[in-house]
Amino acid sequence: QVQLEEAGGGLVQAGGSLRLSCAASGLTFSRHHMGWFRQGPGKEREFVAAIIWNGGNTFTADSVKGRFTISRDNAKSTVYLQMNSLKSEDTAVYYCAAAKSGLRLAASSGYDYWGQGTQVTVSS
């Protein structure tokens, strides 16, 4: 079965950096678009970033533009989220997701598979 496993979350001081990774198995990774979402306490899940199957195009939410970078390594079936200049508002559970279609990559409903999430906590 398909499995997406996030790693790299933790506690970091405001202004610091973290790199999240998501390793995929059970699917043809290079034929899926990948995305990152997050859900803070008491908030709905929101889009963070997406990358198409060959890495040729990326999309980032306005709230993280210029601070977060999404990338992928198809040989390792892994997608990454480099997070710099972290703010307290970035505190959330971060989820990776895989999509067969690239039509709705900024919406949760556009994805077919989801990871279990990794906690990122940014202290002030």
Residues of the chain with pLDDT under 50: none
- pLDDT for 70 equals 98
Q: Residue with structure tokens 């899940």?
A: 45
Q: So what's the pLDDT on residue 31? A: 96
pLDDT of residue 103: 95
pLDDT at 48: 98
Cβ(97)–Cβ(111) below 8 Å:
yes
pLDDT at 17: 98
Enter the tokens of residue 5.
């496993």
